[in-house]
Every structure is written in structure tokens, then in C-alpha cells.
Amino acid sequence: MEKSDKSTVISHLDPRLVRRIRIYTVVMLVMLLVIIFEVLQGAYTIAWAAGGILIGLGIGTLVSRMYRLNWDEDTNQVIGRIDWIGGVILVCYLVFVFTRTHYLSYWIQGTPLLGLIFSLTAGTMLGRVLSTEHGIKKILKTWDILGIKNKPDKNEE
């Protein structure tokens, strides 16, 4: 999406969905800054940080299904709702969030554990943002909102 299309796209999104994406992005950026700082200080290795982010990315992609994205005809907006599958995913995710430190502390302790937790959180938020953005683009293309589907491909010349 081009920058000029951004405000038009946001007008087709539920404000709660936009707020949720912004919160995930802020949390992800804060966690990434802490991770970068700790890696530069030598508290833990970049391999632990990258591994945690990659695992978190997978978890975030799975957890992003918690909110089912749909097009609401009444408001002409993309909305996210929790259905029963999303509720089950939410419960599993909450169990993971509250028990990950306990189970991970069997293998690593101290600062590397904190770094891994931050990396998992940053990766999870990144996965949720990317999956939600993908879902939004898919809905906007399906409903041919903003003429996304009809734009000529720049590679076809």
C-alpha cells in the first residue's frame, strides 16, 4: 500500500482493530529495543534473540486467528470478532503467556531467560501484526475496496 492510500484504508477499518494493531506494534518495538540493548551489552547472544523472535513469529501467526476478520456491510469496515475457535485459541495463548517463564526456566536462567521471553513476546506481536495486515489486505481485495484488485501489476509491461 502506498502512503497516500493509508488514510483511506484506515477509514475502512474498525477503530478497535486499528487500536489493537497499534498496541501490538508499540509493544513489539519496545521489546525489540530492549533486546537490541541487551544483545549489545552482551547479556545474551543474538542467536537466542533471533531464535526467540522466530518462534514467537510462528506463535503470533497462529494466535492471530483469535480474531476472525470480516467485512461489515453496515459500517463498510473490516472488523475482528472472537468466535468459539478464537476463544479456545485465546485460552491456550493465555496459558502459554502465564506459564512460559516457569517451563523455560528448566533450561535457562537469569538474563538469557529474560531475553528469550522478550524475544518471544516481540516475535508474537510481529506475527500478529503481519497476519492481521495480511487478512485485512485479503478482505479489501476480495471486496474490491479501493480498487486494489484492479490496479495493474507493475511487472506486467
Q: What is the pLDDT of residues 88-100, one digit of tens each?
A: 988 999 998 899 8
The pTM (predicted TM-score) of the whole model is 0.81
**Helix (H) or strand (E) segment spanning residue 72:** strand 68-72
Which of 149, 146, 143, 136 minimizes the C-alpha distance to 18?
Answer: 136
The alpha carbon dihedral of 123, 16, 86, 137 has a sign of negative
SS3 per residue for 9-65: HHCCECHHHHHHHHHHHHHHHHHHHHHHHHHHHCCCCHHHHHHHHHHHHHHHHHHHH
Band (142; pLDDT cuts 50, 70, 90):
confident
Q: What is the pLDDT of residues 3-23, one digit of tens each?
A: 546 667 888 889 999 999 999
pLDDT at 116 over 70: yes
Residue 152's alpha-carbon distances to 46, 93, 120, 147, 149, in angstroms, are: 41, 40, 39, 10, 8
pLDDT at 1 (0 to 100): 45
Separation CA 57–CA 150 (nearest Å):
31
pLDDT at 157 (0 to 100): 46
Band (153; pLDDT cuts 50, 70, 90):
low
Cell of 112: 538469557
